[in-house]
Amino acid sequence: MKKILTLAFLAFALNAQAQDSDSISPKAPIGGRPNIPNDLTVEFGWTQLTNRPADLAINFFGSRSFNVYYQKPFLLFGEGSGFVLSPGIGLATNKFSFKDDENLFRNSTLGAESSILKEVKSVYGNTIEIKFNNLAVNYVEVPIDLQYHINKKDYSKSFRVSLGARVGYLYQANTKISFDSPTTGVVKIKQTENYGLERIRYGLNFKAGSPGFYVWSTYYLNPMWKANRGPFNNEANQVSFGIALGLF
């Protein structure tokens, strides 16, 4: 499912970019390369949880974000104003690595659409050697950014800052665990279910940099889990940040 969505999204982005009706028209080629807006971007970064209980701790470097967005720019207030509105669509993937070799499992008391945090060894045996262990949550996301360009004569070469919003829909969540057992050898387990996560998330986004490279940060305003359905009945919010590359 994830691969199909990715291919469909990229095909849409390339087709939309090729149309002649772009709000910001491509300029003449420089050195054989067209000077066109950077609408397709890839974001790399890290993900953390705020407003969380102490027991819901995650590993910093193991908790990562990978996002791909296509955004179509529209000039605001006429040419030379410096303001651009960029709505779009994209895919956002967040991976969480919990400390002490823990991960999410279904809460047997609450049943479906719930989760509890447990040590992996307490479920699969104390003699196993854990190789890989994380939670992945994947969203279809709609971003919209209000950009301001310092260089009002050439937006494609301008430093810019933007404030925006993102709304996402959770289309898949799963845990991945791999371990080596003295009795069964290498075991890989992928469990796909909701784990009590909110289906819809929404947040605020900040970007600063050039069209080809920028830093970004997103803070999601609503809790990651539904009320009383996640581990420790938490009300944790997700915050992500990192760097990005403009592909074109």
Q: Would you list the domain boundaries of the chain?
A: 40-246
pLDDT of residue 30: 36
According to the model, what pLDDT value does residue 23 have?
39
| pLDDT value for 38 | 59
Residues of the chain falling short of pLDDT 50:
1-36
Residue 9 has a pLDDT of: 47
What's the pLDDT at 222?
A: 97
pTM for the whole structure:
0.82
Residue 79's pLDDT is 81
3-state secondary structure the chain: CHHHHHHHHHHHHHHHHHCCCCCCCCEEEECCEEECCCCEEEEEEEEEEECCCCCCCECCCCCEEEEEEEECCEECCCCCCCEEEEEEEEEEEEEECEHHHEEEECCCCCCCCCCEEEEHHHHHCCCCEEEEEEEEEEEEEEEEEEEEECCCCCHHHCCEEEEEEEEEEEEEEEEEEEEEECCCEEEEEEEECCCCECCEEEEEEEEEECCCEEEEEEEECCCCECCCCCHHHCCCEEEEEEEEEECC
